[in-house]
Amino acid sequence: MARDLLIIGGRIIDADQNIDAAGDLLISDGKFSQIGSPGTLPSKNADVIDAAGCIVCQGFIDLHCHLRDPGFEEKETIATGTKAAAAGGFTTVCCMPNTNPPIDSRASVEYVIRTAAQSGTIRVLPIGCITKGRKGAELSEMYDLADAGVIGFSDDGSTVANPQLLQKAMEYSRTLGLPIIEHCEDPMLAKDGYMHEGWVSTRLGLKGVPTAAEEVIIARDIALAQLTKAKLHIAHVSTAGSVEMIRRAKEAGISITAEVTPHHLTLTHERVMRTGRGNRSELLYDTNAKVNPPLRTEEDIAALIAGLKAGVIDCIATDHAPHHEIDKLCEFGLAAFGISGFETALGSLMTLVHNGHLDMKALIAALTAVPSRILGKNYGIPAGIKIGSTADIVIFDPDKEWTVRSSDFASKGKNTPLEGQALKGKVKATIYYGAVVYSEG
């Protein structure tokens, strides 16, 4: 019989049940067995975690990440990616299908599920391709993929450029009750673009991606979602105009949800040019800030935060996109897009709480209860902190100051634009099925 786990002295927040109170949690056999006031629970036969000064909440759920497995194991594997996710406080991650081969067949879905069961640290829910090979030409076998266990469909990395094909995909996904997760980027408007089109792209002589590249596709997709009544989830919203269109679509009763990443909420296109540290006049061309969609402006950040607060943007997803050093140590135009985000997500997002832009409970909801609702089905994700429920929790110190050192990442992807940056807020422990899967070293 495994020993119990007793978590004492923390502030328990459960967004769904509207709980925010000091309390202790006793976990037995992977489930919450007792919830009590501080100091009231028995510690006999229990390992104790002191959560004084920490927040205890449901483990984070990430609707959007890249585990790179199969095919790009030099960037990440399911083993290293889930370890990194656990270090970031996540107990459930949904992985995008742009692997090699892409997750467009029953066999590849089964590979991800089997590998996650064998070598993963936390719950991995695969997303299947909308089109075969992500080529945008023919639908993948969506019934088969759903049977094999995908939680939604996406050609993430590319938009389904052909609207007629996307309409058919939405009709299939509606029948299956699963969301279409769209990467919204018009391929012609974004062609050869490396960063946000604005004054910094001009300053650096880099071809830009206009905000309209995202917005024209969101407009199209909203019309198709209205037509088909499919569940549409917009990945990584990056512009103020997108927020406004999603707001109007929701008001019109269209079934649409949206996510935003920690980096789009906290960093601007100026990060490509130089860091916030020191007064270096030298231009950086920081490939670690090269990401798709690109980092935008202060005005976009303000609109994204306002959208998140108003519920127009439903949740936060990392778009964790690990890369090998050689994918980034090259000319800016040749560098891969993406940020390794699991392990800096909480610290980045806590900046918004510390600055008063976001309420702690709203932040936790956007990382737990809301993404769980967007998934719509159970998938084994516990319903929250209640007796009898599976104990997937994260314990984090909202005030702990630390410095980002990518060499300490569990992820193979060291590609972060936050290297050397001081953040406030860090995960102390992550517990999955009642077992400690990450503990701060």
Partner 1 sequence: MADLSLSTGLPETSPDVWKHEHVLDVDDFSRDEIDLVHEVADAMGEILTREVKKVPTLRGKTVVTMFYEASTRTRASFELAAKNLSADTVNLDASKSSVTKGESFIDSLRTIQALGADVIIIRHSHSGAPYLASRSVHAHIVNAGDGWHAHPSQSLLDTYTIRKHLGTLEDKKIAIVGDILHSRVAHSNLWGMSKLGAQIVLCGPQTLLPLDTEGFISRSGLSGVTVEPVIEKALKDADIVMALRLQLERQQAGLLPTIREYVQRYAITAERLRLAKPNALLLHPGPVNEGIELSPEVAYGAQSVIQEQVTNGVAIRMALLYLVCGRKHN
- Residues with active-site annotation: 319
Q: Which is nearer to partner 1, 118 or 279 (CB)?
A: 279
> Peptide bond before 101: cis, by omega within 30 degrees of 0?
yes
DSSP letter for each residue of 389-432: SB--EEEEEEEEEEE--GGG-SSS----TTTT-EEEEEEEEEEE
Q: Which is nearer to partner 1, 190 or 431 (CB)?
A: 190
Whole-number minimum distance, CB 219 to partner 1, in Å?
20
What does the block give as tokens for 61?
Answer: 């759920």
Kindly report the length of the chain: 441
Whole-number minimum distance, CB 283 to partner 1, in Å?
6
> Peptide bond before 70: cis, by omega within 30 degrees of 0?
yes
What does the block give as tokens for 32?
Answer: 């919450």
Q: Which is nearer to partner 1, 62 or 270 (CB)?
A: 270
**Cα distances (angstroms) measured from residue 439 to each of 2, 164, 400:** 18, 48, 15
Whole-number minimum distance, CB 287 to partner 1, in Å?
8
Q: Which is nearer to partner 1, 186 or 197 (CB)?
A: 197
Q: Which is nearer to partner 1, 68 or 274 (CB)?
A: 274
Whole-number minimum distance, CB 30 to partner 1, in Å?
48
Q: At residue 269, what is the residue type?
A: H
For residue 127, count other CB atoms closer than 10 A to its CB. Answer: 27
The contact set with partner 1 (CB under 8 A) reads 197-200, 202-208, 210, 281-285, 326, 329-334
Whole-number minimum distance, CB 208 to partner 1, in Å?
7
Q: Which is nearer to partner 1, 198 or 425 (CB)?
A: 198
CA gap 50, 23 in Å, rounded? 11
CA gap 169, 63 in Å, rounded? 20
User: What is the helix (H) or strand (E) element at residue 13, kind and residue range?
Assistant: strand 4-14
Whole-number minimum distance, CB 285 to partner 1, in Å?
3
Strand order in the sheet with 60-65: 60-65, 90-95, 123-126
Given a contact cutoff of 8 angstroms between Cβ atoms, the answer to whether 99 and 68 are in contact is yes
